[in-house]
Amino acid sequence: MSRLERNWQYAEQYPSETEAQTRARRLSLELGVEPVSRAVAAQLSGLAVVGRARAICEVGTGVGVSGLALLRYVREATLTSIEVEPEHLREARSVFAGAGIPASQLRLIEGNAQHVLPRLNLGAYDLVLLDAEPEHLLEYVEYALTIVRPGGSIVVPNAFARGRVSDPAARDAATQSLRDLLATVSDSPAIAPVLSPAGDGLLTLTRLDA
């Protein structure tokens, strides 16, 4: 194992998680839903605190691993979470209830993000997580930029597409579109981008003041 791999593994194993997070992670893997990694979950928890998040939006609830991380230290925040699979949402509801998160803090929306995102309030969210299917990521980022407030952040896990983004031999459409996104935001005067190697690559886009 190289030094970089050892460092990455250390960072992934470092974060401690609550019992509810550990249970949700196990359930997620049992159901075949890939949760955010531990290092990514820890970064989500930290971003919510640093951004004093009160309104958080998530695309791709899964069974709630990322949702628990987003709410971990900001118990007064509201999480709007969009999930297309009814079974995932059902499990997430019981995960959140088991973690003691009151229903009043949650707005769990069953539906396709392509239809739900355009209905959300503009500039209303402090933090937006995009963790659904990669094929529509560009579209989701465009919507997310309209619903996040200036100074708020959009977070995209799996920004390396399982290593394909940095592999010059990978020329498929999904990888190419991720590269296009990374190139566009790195030059944008409206966005401060940060790309971290946590998990499978974590891209954070902070919307600058207009």
Ligand X SMILES: C[S@@+](CC[C@H](N)C(=O)[O-])C[C@H]1O[C@@H](n2cnc3c(N)ncnc32)[C@H](O)[C@@H]1O
Residues 120, 93, 73, 41: is their CA dihedral positive or negative? Answer: negative
Sign of the alpha-carbon torsion through 148, 91, 18, 43? negative
156: β partners:
203
CB-count exposure of residue 59 (10 Å: 0-12, 13-18, 19+): buried
Chain residue whose CB lies nearest ligand X: 62
Give the footprint of ligand X on residues 86-105 (CB under 6 A): 88
DSSP letters for 27-58: HHHHTT--PPPHHHHHHHHHHHHHTT-SEEEE
Check residue 112 for interaction with ligand X (CB under 6 A). Answer: yes
Kindly tell me which of 133 and 172 has the beta carbon lying closer to ligand X.
Answer: 133
Closest CB 148 distance from ligand X, rounded Å:
17
Which residue number, 82 or 108, has a Cβ lying nearer to ligand X? 82
* CB 197 to ligand X: min, Å: 18
What does 86-107 look like in DSSP terms, one character per residue? HHHHHHHHHHHHHTT--GGGEE
Q: How many residues bind ligand X (CB under 6 A)?
A: 23
| Choice from 27, 70, 113, 154 touching ligand X (CB under 6 A) | 113
Stretch that binds ligand X, among 129-137, 143-151, 159-167, 197-205 (CB under 6 A): 129-137
In 3D, which of 50, 117, 46, 39 has the Cα closest to residue 83? 117
Check binding of 200 to ligand X (CB under 6 A): no
Q: Which stretches within the chain are classed as H helix?
A: 3-13, 19-30, 38-50, 65-71, 86-98, 113-116, 137-147, 173-187
The DSSP output letter for 208 is P
**x/- binding map, residues 70-89, to ligand X, per CB under 6 A?**
------------xxxx--x-
Find the shortest distance in angstroms from Cβ 198 to ligand X. Answer: 13
In the complex, the smallest distance separating the C-beta of residue 133 from ligand X, rounded to whole angstroms, is 4
> Which residue from 20, 27, 28, 152 is in contact with ligand X, where contact means CB under 6 A?
28
CB 84 within 8 A of CB 90: no
Residue 34 contacts ligand X per CB under 6 A: yes
Rounded least distance, CB 117 to ligand X, Å:
9
Kindly identify the residues of this chain, within the stretch 51-70, that bind ligand X according to CB under 6 A: 59-60, 62-66
For ligand X, the binding residues (CB under 6 A) are 28, 33-36, 59-60, 62-66, 82-85, 88, 112-114, 131-133
